[in-house]
């Protein structure tokens, strides 16, 4: 098991829960498919970019795609730490933001300006409201509702 980002040994169980939830929300496919926006994707929601060496119609092992997932999750955690004051946030809020970064990318997550402002002010109900008003909610309502439920546990 890799140790990732701010998840020290005592938080390893939380990391496993986060990874498991993201995997469940993303689903898994061994070959390239189009996501809801028409982007080429593989494994556990990995956006295929030009630097990737994945080939269309080829099936890849779960082991390889799990490594890609772990790299993507590590990247999301590092981007979270760089862009958010993680020390002042409860774990459930951190996890929601990390999952947002995993699914949407950091640039799209940072476009939720009012969400971020409300998070910083610890106004989690208003932050949740910003998610409900988003286009992201219209695209993946069940996932966003699940994340809102986690967010509101604060």
pLDDT at 13: 59
Q: What is the pLDDT of residues 35-50, one digit of tens each?
A: 988 999 999 999 999 9
Comparing CA positions, the residue from 78, 146, 147, 77 lying closest to residue 119 is: 147
Q: What is the pLDDT of residue 63?
A: 97
Q: Is the pLDDT of residue 29 over 70?
A: yes
The model's confidence at residue 154, banded by pLDDT at 50, 70 and 90, is low
pLDDT tens for each residue of 57-89: 999 999 999 999 999 999 999 999 999 988 889
Gyration radius of the chain over CA positions = 16
| pLDDT value of position 10 | 43
Pairwise CA distance, residues 93 & 152, whole Å: 8
Tell me the per-residue pLDDT of 6-15, one tens digit each, with 9 for 90 and over. 444 346 658 8
């Amino acid at each position: 098991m890799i140790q990732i980002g701010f998840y020290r040994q005592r938080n390893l169980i939380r990391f496993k829960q986060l990874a498991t939830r993201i995997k469940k929300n993303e689903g898994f496919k061994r070959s390239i498919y189009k996501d809801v926006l028409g982007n080429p994707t593989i494994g556990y929601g990995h956006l295929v970019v030009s630097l990737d060496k994945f080939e269309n119609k080829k099936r890849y092992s779960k082991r390889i795609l799990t490594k890609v997932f772990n790299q993507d999750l590590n990247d999301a955690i590092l981007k979270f730490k760089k862009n958010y004051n993680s020390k002042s946030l409860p774990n459930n809020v951190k996890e929601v933001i990390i999952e947002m970064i995993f699914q949407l990318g950091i640039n799209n997550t940072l476009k939720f300006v009012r969400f971020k402002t409300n998070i910083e002010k610890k106004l989690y109900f208003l932050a949740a409201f910003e998610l409900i008003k988003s286009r992201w909610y219209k695209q993946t309502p069940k996932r966003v509702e699940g994340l809102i439920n986690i967010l509101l546990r604060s």
